[in-house]
Amino acid sequence: MLSIDAIGKRFGEVTALDGCSFNVERGRTLGFLGPNGAGKTTTMRAIFGLVELDTGAVLWDGRPIGPVERLRFGYMPEERGLYPRMRVREQLAYLGRLHGLNARDADAAASEWLTRLGLADRADAKVVELSHGNQQRAQLAAALVHTPELLVLDEPFAGLDPVAVRTLAQVLRDEAARGVAVLFSSHQLDLVEEICEEVAIIDRGRIVAEGNLDALRRASERRRIALRLDGAPPGWEPEIRGADVVERTNGDLRLLVDRDVDPQAVLAAAERTAPVIGFSYGPPSLAELFLELVER
């Protein structure tokens, strides 16, 4: 298990991390979320010793992390770190050997991941010759080639097309099923909601929420209502205290309401206006929860 234990880091007058704590268990995938500059990348770099912490500790299975442990970790940094003029297959095999694989196993693992990630036909290309999306895939293969026990990915979905997104999402599920602890950051909250059961949300260097995603959504002070009306007047919204329209599309309305607002009152107000052909009520989405936590 990866344990982030009350870590703190300052860069001059800027507090990047302020007592952050969360855990990532083996076989689980945790989405690490926060606005730009909140401290996500600093936390990830600290796992690999690339940032020297002022306070706290990063532990693996309850022990401090050193070079031996890091050989069993896979890392995909936001700023990609592959050698641009080295051929892809050669580079993956080389990185596999650096992590302790023998030459034959490293070559086999490189070929396996190139095939699985759809890069087999580009194996002999130089990294600089690849498209942005294929460079992303190659960087992911570099993080996986040595069969890591911990996988840390910083914005792995950025710039990927829908096919590549689907492939990467399945890889993360498969790695967690294999028993890997998976930690990744992303601004694509719909993907996080689809892939992860657990999240940690950081804002201004502090963890503002952490744990099971469904439990965090249920604990929110807000609820989501989706309405579809047949012929509602333009600009209509229910005149109910604590109910706010957050989206309006072709007569469909999405509202966030305070937890104590009676959904039947909202429905009744809508029915007095136009026929209601669709209505749902429930906890906020991850995106709505995120905004609630970082804006308050």
The string of pLDDT tens digits covering residues 197-215 is: 999 999 999 999 999 999 9
Tokens of 270: 């809508």
Q: Once rounded to an integer, what is the mean pLDDT over residues 272-285?
A: 92
Looking at every residue in the chain, the average pLDDT score rounds to 93
Measured CA to CA, the distance from residue 220 to residue 117 in angstroms comes to: 38
**pTM for the complete prediction?**
0.88
Cβ atoms of 159 and 136 closer than 8 Å: yes
- Is the sign of the CA dihedral 118, 120, 121, 123 positive or negative? positive
Domain with CATH 3.40.50.300 in the chain: 2-217
Nearest to 95 by CA among 79, 85, 83, 84: 83
Domain with CATH 3.30.70 in the chain: 220-295
Measured CA to CA, the distance from residue 58 to residue 43 in angstroms comes to: 9
Measured CA to CA, the distance from residue 51 to residue 9 in angstroms comes to: 9
Q: Which fold has domain 220-295?
A: Alpha-Beta Plaits (3.30.70)
- Using one digit for the tens of pLDDT, what is the confidence trace for 14-35? 999 999 999 999 999 999 999 9
Measured CA to CA, the distance from residue 165 to residue 102 in angstroms comes to: 31
Q: What is the pLDDT of residue 260?
A: 92
Cβ atoms of 140 and 172 closer than 8 Å: no
Q: Which fold has domain 2-217?
A: Rossmann fold (3.40.50)
- Using one digit for the tens of pLDDT, what is the confidence trace for 48-92? 999 999 999 999 999 999 999 999 999 999 887 899 999 999 999
Measured CA to CA, the distance from residue 190 to residue 265 in angstroms comes to: 29
**Residue 222 pLDDT > 80, yes or no?**
yes
Residue with tokens 């070079």: 67
Q: Which helix (H) or strand (E) holds 36?
A: none
Q: Once rounded to an integer, what is the mean pLDDT over residues 166-194?
A: 94
**Residue 6 pLDDT > 80, yes or no?**
yes
**Residue 232 pLDDT > 80, yes or no?**
no
Q: What is the pLDDT of residue 296?
A: 66
Q: Once rounded to an integer, what is the mean pLDDT over residues 146-171?
A: 91
- For the chain, the distance separating the N- and C-terminal CA atoms, rounded to the nearest angstrom, is 31
